[in-house]
Structure 1
Amino acid sequence: MKLSCLIVDDEPLARAGIRHLLSQQQQFEIAAEADNGTDALRLAELHQPDIIFLDIQMPGLDGLNVFKQLANKPAVIFCSAYAEHAVTAFDLSAVDYLLKPFSAERFQQALFKACGKIIDKLSRSNEQAGQDSGYIERITIRDPGRLRIVEVNDISWIESAGNYVDIHVYSQQKSYLLRDTMAAIESKLDPAIFARIHRSSIVRKSDIIELRPGDKGDAEVVLKCGTLLTMSRRHRAALAELFGQIA
C-alpha cells in the first residue's frame, strides 16, 4: 500500500524539493500539487490524501486556515520559513512543523511521524470495525518507515514465529511478520472462515484440499498452494464440520 501525498506551496522550488525527497521513498506517491489554499482544499477533497505538506504563507487562504477547513483531517506536515506559527500548528494537531530550509534527515523524521499517526488511525478504525462485526477485515503491519495493510480475505494461513506471527497471503505468494500472538490473532478472525489446527498454525478452511489422518489422532493438512501443515490431536475438532469426526 502506498500513501498518497498532496504538496501545497506557492513556491515552485519548494514543491520541487519535496517532490524530489518523496521520489526517493517507494511507499509514497504524489496525488496532486497546489500553489494556493483554495486549490489545496479542492484537491484534498478530490484525492483524500494520506499526508499533506502544507506551506503557511500563501496568496489568499493561508495554510493554517486550510488545515482548519479540511473536512477529513489527514496527517499534515507544515513547511514554512517562519517559526512563529509552529505553536499554532501543533495546537491544530499538525504532525510536524518543518522549518525551511530543512534537511533530508529532518524530512524523514516528519514522514515517520506521519506514518505513525496514519497507523494509529487505521488501527482505531480496524478495532471499531471489529467491534461492529465481531471480526477484523484487515490487518495493519508496521514496517520501518511504512505500513502495510493486509486484507483478511487475502490470508491463506498463519504460523507462529517467536514473538511474531507470519501471515501468508496467497494472492501475492508473500508473507508478512506481525508482532502479535497466535491467541490474539485467532480471536480477531471469523471461526467460520479460519481454524486453529495447531498451537502454531491457523488456516483458511476453504484453502484445504486434503486431510491425511495420522495414527495418534493428528493429521497432515494440504492446502491449495501445496503447503503441508500439521493438525494436532488437540485441535482436530476445528475441522470436524469439514471432515466429520476424525479418528
Structure 2
Amino acid sequence: MFLESDMKLSCLIVDDEPLARAGIRHLLNQQNQFEIAAEADNGTDALRLAELHQPDIIFLDIQMPGLDGLNVFKQLANKPAVIFCSAYAEHAVAAFELSAVDYLLKPFSAERFQQALFKACGKIIDKLNRGSSKPAETPSYIDRLTIRDPGRLRIVEVNDISWIESAGNYIDIHVYSQRKSYLLRDTMAAIEKKLDPALFARIHRSSIVRKSDIVELRPGDKGDAEVILKCGTVLTMSRRNRNALADLFGHLA
C-alpha cells in the first residue's frame, strides 16, 4: 500500500514499444491506487496528452521517434512525477539532473517498479504538503508530514507533534498523542520554515517545541533556561533563542 487514503493517481505511459507499454500497464493494473489516463508512442503525442490529462505520474521512454523523452520532460508545462524507462543507462545522469523521480533500466523487475512508484508517491505528497494553493502573500505552513517507512508512507499530523530534535542528518519528531517519535530526513532549518511560528518555537539549534505543550520555564544563570513540557520532558533553551518564547513568558533579562 502506497497511500493511506482513497486517493487515486493518474498515469501517462509513453513508449514507442507496444510490449513495453503493456508491461507497465500490467503492473499498474495490479494496484488500486493508480489509473491509466492515456498512452502515447511518441514525444509529440506525449506533450499533448500531458496537457490534456494533467497526470500525476508519467512513465517516459528516452529514445523515441521525433521528440525524445528528455526533451519531452523539458517542455512539460506542469512538471508531474516523471519516471524514465530506458534500455540505455547512459541517460540516467541527464534524467536526474532534470529532477526525474527515478530511472528504470529495462528490463526491470516488479519489485524495482514498486520502488519507483513509492518514490513518485512521496514526491506527490510532499508537493501537496507545501500547500501551494494559498495566496502568495500569505505564509503557507504545512499541516502534515510524510514519513517514509519501509514499504509505506506514514502521515503525521502537525497537530500531534510535541517537539522536534536534531538527529544527525535526520530530525526526530516526537508525537505526544502516541508517545512515539519518527525519523524524517530533513534539517531543523527547513522544518522550522514549514511550521507556523504562532504554534512552534525554535528554542535551541537542535530543538523546536510546540508552545502549548510548555508548562514551566526555569531560567539559568547564563541566559539559558530549562523548558518543561506536559509529558515531563526537559529541553534546553539556549541564550541565543531566549526570546523565542517572549509571547508566553515575556522577554527574559
TM-score when scaled to structure 2? 0.59
1:148–1:51 distance in 2 versus 1, CA, 3 Å = farther
In the alignment, which residue of structure 2 is the partner of 1:234?
Answer: 240
Matched, 1:118 2:118: no
Unaligned ranges ≥5, structure 1: 5-27, 32-46, 59-64, 78-86, 98-104
Q: Kindly provide the amino acid, as one letter, of the partner of residue 130 in structure 2.
A: E
Q: Distance in 2 between matches of 1:215 and 1:94?
A: 55
Matched, 1:183 2:153: no
Alignment of 1:55-70 (within 5 A): 55=26, 67-68=37-38
Match of 1:237, SS?
coil
Q: Kindly provide the amino acid, as one letter, of the partner of residue 3 in structure 1.
A: F
Q: Distance in 2 between matches of 1:116 and 1:48?
A: 16
In the alignment, which residue of structure 2 is the partner of 1:42?
Answer: none
Higher percent of residues as helix: 1
1:145–1:51 distance in 2 versus 1, CA, 3 Å = farther
Among 149, 153, 166, the alignment partner of 1:160 is 166
Among 147, 151, 155, the alignment partner of 1:149 is 155
Output one character per residue of 1:66-123: Cα deviation in whole Å (capped at 9) or x when no partner: 6339x8856699xxxxxxxxx9xx99x99699xxxxxxx9332222111111111111
Q: Distance in 1 between matches of 2:115 and 2:163?
A: 30
Paired residues in the alignment total 181
In the alignment, which residue of structure 1 is the partner of 2:2?
Answer: 3
Unaligned ranges ≥5, structure 2: 12-23, 30-34, 40-52, 73-80, 86-107
Q: Distance in 2 between matches of 1:216 and 1:48?
A: 52
Q: Distance in 2 between matches of 1:180 and 1:130?
A: 23
Q: Distance in 1 between matches of 2:56 and 2:188?
A: 32
Q: Distance in 2 between matches of 1:120 and 1:135?
A: 17
1:66–1:191 distance in 2 versus 1, CA, 3 Å = closer
1:121–1:219 distance in 2 versus 1, CA, 3 Å = same
In the alignment, which residue of structure 1 is the partner of 2:91?
Answer: none
Kept in 2, the 8 Å contact 1:51–1:114? The answer is: no
1:158: Cα distance to partner? 0.5
Q: Distance in 2 between matches of 1:176 and 1:48?
A: 24
Q: Distance in 1 between matches of 2:197 and 2:221?
A: 27
In the alignment, which residue of structure 1 is the partner of 2:175?
Answer: 169
Matched, 1:134 2:134: no
TM-score when scaled to structure 1? 0.60
Alignment of 1:25-64 (within 5 A): 47-49=6-8, 55=26
Aligned residues with identical type, % of pairs: 56
1:231: Cα distance to partner? 0.7
1:66–1:131 distance in 2 versus 1, CA, 3 Å = closer
Kept in 2, the 8 Å contact 1:3–1:51? The answer is: no
Q: Kindly provide the amino acid, as one letter, of the partner of residue 175 in structure 1.
A: S
Q: Kindly provide the amino acid, as one letter, of the partner of residue 2 in structure 2.
A: L
1:51–1:3 distance in 2 versus 1, CA, 3 Å = farther
Q: Distance in 2 between matches of 1:219 and 1:239?
A: 11
Among 187, 206, 212, the alignment partner of 1:206 is 212
Output one character per residue of 1:128-157: Cα deviation in whole Å (capped at 9) or x when no partner: 448654212222233343322222111110
Q: Distance in 1 between matches of 2:161 and 2:182?
A: 10
